[in-house]
A and B are shown apart, each in its own frame.
Chain A
Amino acid sequence: MSTAVERAPASALAGSEPVGIAGIGLGVLAFWLALPPVHSRTVALPAVVGAAAIACGAWAVAGGRRRLGWAAVAAGVIGIAGAVLATHASVSHLQAVITWSTILAATLVFATPLTYAAIGGMFSERSGVVNIGLEGMMLMGAFFGAYGADKTGSWVAGVLIGMASGAALALVHAFFAIHLRADQIVGGTAVNFLALGITGYLYVDIYGNNGTPDNLPAIPDVHLGWLGSIPPHSLGSFLDEVLGSQNLMVWLSFVLLVVAYIVMFRTPLGLHIRSVGEHPRAADTVGISVYGVRYASVVTSGALAALGGAYLSIGFVNSFTENMTAGRGFIALAALIFGKWRPFGAFAAALLFGFSSAFAPQLQNVDAWSTYGTLFEALPYVLTLIAVAGVIGRSIPPAAIGRPYQKQ
């Protein structure tokens, strides 16, 4: 809350924040009404709801919450436009594409590794060190998670070894960025290639042609069978399909989210991290060890990013292949920026990115729409660019990010 409150103008109208959030919700609702299972076949109902979303947005903008307000306006407009398109599409096509339980379950699968890496990145970047090496740290976690689980026969040990490997790689990055004051983008890129080389070499050297063994100890799924018995039946089975057999790491990511928020914004430690990232000189003068905080933050970010990688290898697909993170570290960085370097913001962005990954293949279930999937997958990145460019409320990074600190 702290920074959001600081940045809200003094003239804010009462309640503009909840109204803005409600506006975004109404915009999504407007679109949803035209889709299965509700299937409003006329535009009238979604149009009314969408107009309400736009009104809420306008209220929030007038109340000083510009970014939120414009987002609600955009949600309303997109909701109406989407509803118009949906009412023109045939019902059978919509039903082939929209299976909410499948899409939402896959959204969580794709969002989880991004969440871990983005939260990790938050620690590093809030302390003032750009971490473009998240990708490499995830990859280390993916390989060493699988290797550790294979050698020790325990997924817990695998996860811990994976985290340690990510932390070790982060330490390399931290040393170059903090002690040697190297360019952090260049250092991070080098760290990514280093991880690609290490994991690729060891993978081929250890596992050769046949890949990781198919009996790797896996992070267990959490089976919540009771969800299916929640009345009414349709709701119960829906919840069961979305949440009923997600991996333990998915649930842990929710816990991590809350913990990261509390640590960063509700504890002295978080204040130290943020002050080092905003104004290291000032932090130094009040006795905070800038180097110490930055080292700890970067190493933490490596361990958390590696958790995301371990989820991929021994949580979801249960094997390792070279470069299996496939750019997720960079996407997590985009989620962090889109989420304004805040845990819940980054999580929301990760969900949005995950949703687009989950939804894109669904579009192919209708031949005529199959080519739009790729386009849809690009949407989150367009949104990130808009956020960075500042069209609707700029994403402002920590003030001292990317600038090495020199002790005096």
Chain B
Amino acid sequence: MKSKRLLLLAIAVVAAGAALAAGLGSSSSNAAPRATARVAVVTDIGGLNDKGFNHLAYVGLQRAQSKLGVDGRVFITNTAEDRLPNLRSAAQQGYGLVIGVGFLMFDPLDKLAPAVPNTKFAGVDVPYALLASKPANVRGLVFKEQEAGYLVGYIAGLEIKRHPYKGKQVVSGVGANKVPAIIHFLTGYAAGAKKANPKVTVLINYANDPTFADQAKCKVTTQNQISRGSGVVFEAAGQCGLGGLTAAKQSGVWGIGVDADQSFLGPHILTSATKKVDVAVYQTIQAYAQNPDGFTGGSDQVFSVKNGAVGYGKLSPKLSKADRAYILARVSNIAKQIASGKIVPPSGT
């Protein structure tokens, strides 16, 4: 929580600075047109309103437009074949910073970036090591999902210790498919739960849903876990996981959301493992807007608990005051230890 506040403070300071730089006293947004940074976001398949990556990346861009006054545009990717042409037209149209969203952007970025050395690129979830051509103008934006998983696992472990489900201390996690980000989330989750409560049993299952949209599969997988005694289910499964969270609600056990803060789904959501793509996009645009020439690629920028880009969401309003205080005091301490490097959650890959 504290890191979040610091972040807001930092944003406020920068925004104020940007307003000053844009021209004292001028309220007009086009006061300094020549200095305006031009930024494009190229989405991945799934549309702008996917409640996941694309949506959060767009939110980050919108925030940058309103707070930093950058000139932004979104290129929407509809099929796998659109990724490269979208990146290319963004570069050709003079956008100085082009942000590709999604792991699968690594290949088109790898192909395009060396050909347009004057354009800066960033890839959300794209590890720089995957780019074979080693372009100096691409920056990878990667997340430590295991830290978010660790924190919500810790919360789950504490909750089940205080309130065992049907006399058992079992918590579980569901992944849609075995991809790196999900393995990170779930490995961190298991480790966090064990840290909070050495007696806990952690069940991890994958729903085998490569589409990330098949709610029925996550629901059945989750129901199996609940029948095996799980009292807290963490759904690291995109839209598939919504089916699992419904199962949790129907069985009267806790659910834990992922990526966005999914507390809006109802009081059965204990908390959420948040991965703030919007923060990453905003911070990247901010760094570029402040000093376009100084924006370097050639490596990964890591988003973690330390810089406020992963963490845990709101705690359920259903928790008693005592439980909430008990959990918050302990988990914020753990978050601090993760931020300082004292605890290093395992990633599983």
Contact surface of A with B, Cβ cutoff 8 Å: 99, 102, 106, 109-110, 113, 200, 204, 208-211, 214, 312, 316-319, 321-324, 326-327, 357-358, 360-362, 364-365, 370, 373-374, 377
B305 within 8 A of A: no
CB distance from A358 to the nearest CB of B (A): 7
Structural contact, B208 and A373, CB atoms closer than 8 A: yes
Structural contact, A316 and B216, CB atoms closer than 8 A: yes
CA distance A377 to B211 in the complex (A): 15
B307 within 8 A of A: no
Contact digits for B45-61, partner A, Cβ 8 Å, 1 yes 0 no: 01101110001000000
Select A373's contact among B49, B206, B243, B264, beta carbons within 8 Å. Answer: B206
Contacts of B55 in A (CB 8 A): 209
- Residue pairs across A and B with Cβ atoms less than 8 A apart, 12 shown, are A102-B227, A106-B224, A204-B49, A214-B249, A312-B215, A319-B242, A319-B243, A319-B246, A322-B213, A323-B211, A358-B220, A361-B207
B184 within 8 A of A: no
Structural contact, A377 and B214, CB atoms closer than 8 A: no
Contacts of B298 in A (CB 8 A): none
Structural contact, B211 and A327, CB atoms closer than 8 A: yes
CB distance from B120 to the nearest CB of A (A): 30
Structural contact, A365 and B205, CB atoms closer than 8 A: yes
Contacts of A317 in B (CB 8 A): 215-216, 219, 242-243, 246
CA distance A383 to B51 in the complex (A): 38
Structural contact, A211 and B51, CB atoms closer than 8 A: yes
Select B47's contact among A200, A324, A364, A377, beta carbons within 8 Å. Answer: A200
Contacts of B246 in A (CB 8 A): 214, 317-319
CA distance A318 to B46 in the complex (A): 22
B31 within 8 A of A: no
Besides A361-B206, A361-B221, 5 new A-B residue pairs in contact (Cβ under 8 A), listed by A number: A106-B220, A204-B49, A209-B55, A312-B215, A312-B216
Structural contact, B220 and A326, CB atoms closer than 8 A: no
Structural contact, A110 and B220, CB atoms closer than 8 A: yes
Contacts of A204 in B (CB 8 A): 47, 49
Structural contact, A321 and B207, CB atoms closer than 8 A: no
Name the CB-closest residue of A to B210. Answer: A326
Select B217's contact among A210, A319, A357, beta carbons within 8 Å. Answer: A357
Contacts of A364 in B (CB 8 A): 204-206
CA distance A214 to B248 in the complex (A): 13
B239 within 8 A of A: yes
CA distance A113 to B209 in the complex (A): 17
Structural contact, A109 and B242, CB atoms closer than 8 A: no
CA distance A317 to B204 in the complex (A): 21
CA distance A318 to B219 in the complex (A): 11
B198 within 8 A of A: no
Contacts of B46 in A (CB 8 A): 322
CA distance A210 to B265 in the complex (A): 8
CA distance A211 to B224 in the complex (A): 25
Contacts of B217 in A (CB 8 A): 326, 357, 361
Structural contact, A109 and B220, CB atoms closer than 8 A: yes
CA distance A365 to B174 in the complex (A): 12
CB distance from B241 to the nearest CB of A (A): 10
Contacts of A200 in B (CB 8 A): 47
CA distance A110 to B213 in the complex (A): 15
CA distance A207 to B228 in the complex (A): 34
Chain B stretch 119-139: residues in CB contact (< 8 A) with chain A = none
CA distance A2 to B47 in the complex (A): 50
Name the CB-closest residue of B to A96. Answer: B228
Structural contact, B264 and A210, CB atoms closer than 8 A: yes
Structural contact, A361 and B47, CB atoms closer than 8 A: no
Name the CB-closest residue of B to A106. Answer: B220
Select B216's contact among A102, A109, A365, A373, beta carbons within 8 Å. Answer: A109
CA distance A196 to B213 in the complex (A): 13
CB distance from B221 to the nearest CB of A (A): 5
CB distance from B223 to the nearest CB of A (A): 8
Name the CB-closest residue of B to A315. Answer: B216
CB distance from B28 to the nearest CB of A (A): 32
Contacts of B239 in A (CB 8 A): 321-322, 324
Contacts of A319 in B (CB 8 A): 215, 242-243, 246
CB distance from B65 to the nearest CB of A (A): 19
Structural contact, A321 and B242, CB atoms closer than 8 A: yes
Q: Which 4 A-B pairs have the closest CB atoms?
A: A326-B214, A317-B215, A321-B239, A317-B243
Contacts of B348 in A (CB 8 A): none
CA distance A102 to B226 in the complex (A): 11
Name the CB-closest residue of B to A376. Answer: B208
B117 within 8 A of A: no
CB distance from B219 to the nearest CB of A (A): 5
Contacts of B243 in A (CB 8 A): 317, 319
B266 within 8 A of A: yes
CA distance A211 to B50 in the complex (A): 10
CA distance A99 to B229 in the complex (A): 14
Contact digits for B274-305, partner A, Cβ 8 Å, 1 yes 0 no: 00000000000000000000000000000000
CA distance A211 to B51 in the complex (A): 9
Contacts of A324 in B (CB 8 A): 213-216, 239
CA distance A377 to B206 in the complex (A): 13
Contacts of B49 in A (CB 8 A): 204, 208-209
Contacts of B223 in A (CB 8 A): 106
Structural contact, B265 and A214, CB atoms closer than 8 A: yes
Contacts of B211 in A (CB 8 A): 323, 326-327
